[in-house]
Amino acid sequence: MGRAVVVATCALNQWALDFEGNLERIFRSIDIAKSKGARYRLGPELEICGYGCSDHYYESDTLLHSFQVLEKLLQSPATQDIICDVGMPVLHRNVRYNCRVIFLNKKILLIRPKISLANAGNYRELRWFTPWSKARHVEEYFLPRIIQEVTGQETVPFGDAVLATNDTCLGAEICEELWAPNSPHIEMGLDGVEIFTNSSGSHHVLRKAHARVDLVNSATAKNGGIYILANQKGCDGDRLYYDGCAMISMNGETVAQGTQFSLDDVEVLVATLDLEDVRSYRAEISSRNLAASKVSPYPRVKVDFALSCPDDVAVPTCMPIQWRHHSPEEEISLGPACWLWDYLRRSKQAGFLLPLSGGIDSSATACIVYSMCHQVCLAVKNGNADVLADARRIVNDETYIPKDPREFCKRIFTTCYMASENSSQDTCKRAKLLAEQIGSYHINLNIDAAVKAVVGIFSVVTGRTPQFSVCGGSSRESLALQNVQARIRMVLAYLFAQLTLWARGMPGGLLVLGSANVDESLRGYLTKYDCSSADINPIGGISKTDLKNFIQYCLENFQLTALSSIMSAPPTAELEPLVDGQVAQTDEADMGMTYAELSIYGKLRKIAKAGPYSMFCKLINMWKEICTPREVASKVKHFFRMYSVNRHKMTTLTPSYHAENYSPDDNRFDLRPFLYNTSWSWQFRCIDKQVNTL
């Protein structure tokens, strides 16, 4: 009868400009799709060149190599008898578009340019691409000669059209178009399109997955149809981690779910679905049918091919499933761990070095590395040959098989406690115990000699010796002495990262991990070029509150009992002298605000787009039970003073895993000045005026 269609979607760990590797992963996905009987295969956005090429999109080389990869795909017997839908940049009439190239049996059926470009937050697509603005319009695209020689076609359709096969009709969306208020699937569905496809480059943010799933399911809940979503996965060379979650939905319900976090480079979902279920679902929606009778038709590209088989009455079809979401603590355990693994294997380094202070932030970073080791051992146990090959190369042992996370951790992870005369025995013991429990190679060292040498140079040159505040020095002297300690630790971290393995008679070097959380970065509570300066930072986009919950999760799930005392200890930088052998300095006292308050300030500043006055107006209601308006005003002013004084530090912030939408990352996400008038005179005067009226 020709009603059961077999379709495939995938999540691929593509890498920007890795044309060789990207092609290999595309071929693997097509092979898997065909082996499972699929007649249509959808891949992620810009999968041929990798999504994160950024300004490399300006280069003609990127376009050339993308077409060379397309040539290989068209020529290959692997792509025969299956509609392949791949993503790449295309230059049409000297305008660059983000496109889907859909082909079958060495013939290009349609090049479909993206209509709505992502241009907020981490996305800058309008910098490199132009949106296709000609709705339901198709033009001729003249193919490059290398493609003409394969397809025998001089021109192919380019524009906003749909495919009409012998048994159904397919229409494409690209990533952002699903999120747009006027998504193309609405009118395509009214025009009889039964299968919607979406190739995405959607990155992970804590607590975001449900929004994507809800959008996909709602796309077909009102209008009926089959929705297929493909997504990029992994770290493709930047701060973002693309979290897979490929899925297939029908009539508002999920029928196939891919993993969100996985070390598999290629994941393919295949579903068999009954077109008659779509047609009967639509038949009883009278409002939909009335709207459909008035819709303007899409150009249809006729394809002499079917996604179903003639005799398919007995073919079983997929049933709805319940989507299982990860908790935020699981997301922190898995997402940054997968990102670290991609960074480690692709940078061809031999492991990580972490300055481990015994506090929550560095301990959380250590736990993420330990989680990564768990994921590697699990992937190898499940037969992932790619992960095994990468692990063997990293440890420089062709016979090695990672089975025990602690043993693997010992090989690739070095932790270092850098004590000073201001460090307590408690933090030293906590760091050592955690290192023992996760299995890292642990180093204890003392930085006092280096600190005294640096301060001594200053004293020789100036004839003055700075003192801490508790010893009679000024705040300037005390801060400078704290910063010297912090910066010495950064210098030593890089020295040991470069030479620790050499000293142990092992090859390679280590990547230095940072451990400043998103709240401290927002407040600027870090020393420029201290241990917050590293190669990468897996927790730089995660709040202190979430990190505390993650520590509790690790305590319970990894049985890391050392975390219990770390959880209960007050956060401290340990840069000022001890008082009676005990730590007198705490982070929240230094900052003049709590971590809970910082998270609120961050969300209001970035997500709610609140300046000082708007933030004050929102907080007098949020905090009316605990603060007077004058106290709220004082807190808001203090935050904005500290934020603006320290904003310059964001220009040198270590590349961090992006997990939170109030990240202050200055690179491309949070674009603001780094030289402010820190008095905020006009804004604060508005606050004062409002306080006086309350």
Please indicate whether residue 114 is annotated as part of the active site. Answer: yes
Alpha-carbon distance of 567 to 547, in angstroms, equals 10
Stated as kind and residue range, the H or E segment containing 1 is none
Q: Which residues contact 18 (CB under 8 A, 6 or more apart)?
A: 50
Alpha-carbon distance of 318 to 306, in angstroms, equals 19
Please indicate whether residue 327 is annotated as part of the active site. Answer: no
Q: Which residues contact 402 (CB under 8 A, 6 or more apart)?
A: 373, 376, 377, 380, 388, 391, 408
Q: Which residues contact 682 (CB under 8 A, 6 or more apart)?
A: none
Taking alpha carbons only, the member of 596, 579, 578, 580 closest to residue 588 is: 596
Annotate 259-327 with DSSP letters as a single string: -SS-S-SEEEEEEEEEHHHHHHHHHT-HHHHHHHTTPPPPPEEE-S--SB-SS-TT----------PPP
Taking alpha carbons only, the member of 582, 564, 653 closest to residue 358 is: 564
CB-based contact 487:510 (threshold 8 Å): no
CB-based contact 391:376 (threshold 8 Å): yes
CB-based contact 566:510 (threshold 8 Å): no
Amino acid residing at 615: M
Please indicate whether residue 363 is annotated as part of the active site. Answer: no
Q: Give me the catalytic one of 10, 84, 99, 175.
A: 175
Q: Give me the catalytic one of 357, 362, 478, 543.
A: 357
Taking alpha carbons only, the member of 366, 504, 519, 344 closest to residue 432 is: 366
Please indicate whether residue 381 is annotated as part of the active site. Answer: no
Annotate 609-631 with DSSP letters as a single string: ---HHHHHHHHHHHTTTT--HHH
In 1-59, where does DSSP find H-type helix? 19-35
Phi, psi of 116 (to 5 degrees): -115, 115
Q: Can you name the residues that pair with 65 across neighbouring β-strands?
A: none
Q: Give me the catalytic one of 49, 53, 99, 114.
A: 114
DSSP-based three-state secondary structure for 244: coil
Token look-up 């749909």 returns: 162
Q: Can you name the residues that pair with 171 across neighbouring β-strands?
A: 196
Alpha-carbon distance of 603 to 611, in angstroms, equals 12
Alpha-carbon distance of 588 to 485, in angstroms, equals 20
With b for 16 or more beta-carbon neighbours within 10 A and e for fewer, the 173-195 pattern comes to bbbbbbeeeebbbbbbbbbbbbb
Taking alpha carbons only, the member of 557, 582, 580 closest to residue 569 is: 582
Alpha-carbon distance of 384 to 488, in angstroms, equals 41
DSSP class of residue 414 equals E
Q: Give me the catalytic one of 10, 45, 235, 262.
A: 45
Stated as kind and residue range, the H or E segment containing 356 is none
CB-based contact 8:270 (threshold 8 Å): yes
DSSP class of residue 203 equals B
Annotate 505-566 with DSSP letters as a single string: T--S--EEBP---HHHHHHT-S-TTSTT-SSBBTTTTS-HHHHHHHHHHHHHHS--THHHHH
Residues with catalytic function: 45, 114, 175, 357
